[in-house]
Chains A and B, each alone.
Chain A
Amino acid sequence: DTGVSQDPRHKITKRGQNVTFRCDPISEHNRLYWYRQTLGQGPEFLTYFQNEAQLEKSRLLSDRFSAERPKGSFSTLEIQRTEQGDSAMYLCASSFAGGGETQYFGPGTRLLVL
């Protein structure tokens, strides 16, 4: 079991640039979640997929954010025209629907927007 992996682990970008993060879930998991965590706070839900379908999006996910899971396996989260307020840890988690909803988290991608 390789667990959930995320790439890159760290990203520094300038305001206005676009960034893309990748998440590889546990292979047999059909649900995939994205969360955002800022310093001193708990993670906040952004969006989730069941297989390739995006089933729910938070109001936190502005139109600059887009997520995809094209083949129901890995997922990407893109932020366009980054702002300093986007600086945070972006967490990915996966679970097996019907498996008690235990979510397994990746190590996260830390984004710093200068």
Chain B
Amino acid sequence: GNSVTQMEGPVTLSEEAFLTINCTYTATGYPSLFWYVQYPGEGLQLLLKATKADDKGSNKGFEATYRKETTSFHLEKGSVQVSDSAVYFCALSGGAGGTSYGKLTFGQGTILTVHP
């Protein structure tokens, strides 16, 4: 079945540092890939997505590129802010046939803390 593996956390950075959160996946076919973010006290929000190989999703300075050859979808940001402190989840949907299409499979989440 489908699975998503995120880098171990938590991640602690200083403001303006470069961020990478690694995400790899296992799925047959061509899943869609997502990054969701959960700010303290809030619900999950879609951060960005990519639906086919080599697509780059981007939003709020974050980027991730769908790499089918390495089955990866790493999240990057060039200069993080204190307000980026949150839990980040990599997820996928589809890719394994009609019975799993639509539901999301999530990684375990990565806690990011950014200090001033």
Interface residues of A (CB under 8 A from B): 31, 33, 35, 40-45, 48, 55-56, 91, 93, 95, 97, 100-108
Contact = CB atoms under 8 A, between A and B. Distances in A.
Contact of B103 (A41, A45, A97, A100): A45
A40 B108 contact: yes
A8 B38 CA distance: 20
Interface residues of B, number: 26
The residue in A42, A102, A108 that gathers the most chain B C-beta atoms within 10 A of its C-beta is A42
A40 B87 CA distance: 10
B77 interface: no
Nearest to A107: B43
A104 B102 contact: no
10 contacts: A41-B109, A42-B109, A43-B89, A45-B103, A48-B103, A101-B101, A101-B102, A102-B46, A104-B46, A108-B43
B44 A91 contact: yes
A23 to B, nearest CB: 12
A102 B49 CA distance: 8
Contacts of A103: 46, 104
Contacts of A31: 102
A22 B89 CA distance: 25
Contacts of A42: 4, 89, 91, 106-109
A48 B100 CA distance: 10
A101 B91 CA distance: 12
Contacts of B102: 31, 33, 48, 55-56, 95, 97, 101
